[in-house]
Amino acid sequence: MGKEIERIALERGHEIVGRIDVNNQHELENLQKDSVDVGIEFSTPASAVGNIKTCLEKGWPVVCGTTGWLEHKKEIEALCENQKGAFFYASNYSIGVNLFFKLNQQLAKLMRGHDYRVDMTEIHHIHKKDAPSGTAITLAEGLLEEIDYMKGWTLVPEKKEGYIPILSERTGEVPGTHVIRYSSAVDTIEISHTAHSRQGFAQGAVVAGEWLAGKTGIFGMDDLLKLNDQ
């Protein structure tokens, strides 16, 4: 993702002033405050919180696409507000996926009062550290907003009555596939999103960085795409 983000940023006329990875993480501290307009953070769950804090403490707007660390999200949002900074988080930066989030919620509304069971499958490349994916969790949260008799989600093979089962598969170099399935005794309804490459994720992150520069506050893809106005 880092290489794809860099490629797209350069194509769009931006300058990359720092490239931070596991081999040179100390260099993040050495970057000068005024040399950075926005930081884009795609790393690992173990590194994300520290990276985001460093960016916010330096006064940089930060776009984060790392998943698997959200138990610390309130802490990060409080720091952002305290620093009068700017923080943009999305579990998925693809425009198509964010439209899929809205479709998911709309279908869940339509399914109210009908005798269907809902479950989810998500498939990603073997290098992905967290399961289920952040995108799957966002989809599950959307379902839970609309299906009031469901209590939460659970990761297969665990089974819990009243919880949405999510099956996570890791295979090959799959960029990301998510399937929502409604099943009854007589039929099955499915909606799915399949990414063909990581380009859509990277492009969305760069666009989010362009949009975030100069702003103050806490934002997400609904703000960028004005989906709440739809």
Domain with CATH 3.40.50.720 in the chain: 2-93+199-229
Annotated active-site positions, please? 124, 128
Residue 208 tokens, joined: 């989010």
User: Do residues 68 and 130 lie in contact, with contact meaning Cβ atoms separated by under 8 Å?
Assistant: yes
Q: Write down the pLDDT at residue 32.
A: 83
* Short-list 119, 117, 135, CA closest to 174: 135
C-alpha–C-alpha distance, residues 6 and 168, integer Å: 29
pLDDT tens across the length of the chain (230 residues): 889 999 999 999 999 999 988 888 888 888 888 889 999 999 989 999 999 999 999 999 999 999 889 999 999 999 999 999 999 999 889 989 999 999 999 999 999 989 999 999 999 999 988 899 989 999 999 999 999 889 999 999 999 999 999 999 999 999 999 999 999 999 999 999 999 988 888 999 999 999 999 999 999 998 998 866 65
Sheet containing 62-64: give its strands across. Answer: 39-41, 62-64, 86-89, 217-219
To which residue do tokens 């099943």 refer? 183
Number of neighbouring beta carbons within 10 Å of residue 32: 9
Q: Write down the pLDDT at residue 58.
A: 93
Domain with CATH 3.30.360.10 in the chain: 95-194
**Interior angle at CA 158, CA 155 and CA 162, nearest 5:** 85
The answer regarding whether domain 95-194 maps to CATH 3.10.310.70 reads no
* Short-list 117, 131, 129, CA closest to 178: 131
**Interior angle at CA 137, CA 133 and CA 138, nearest 5:** 115
CA-based end-to-end distance of the chain: 30
C-alpha–C-alpha distance, residues 32 and 47, integer Å: 20
CATH number of this structure's domain 2-93+199-229:
3.40.50.720
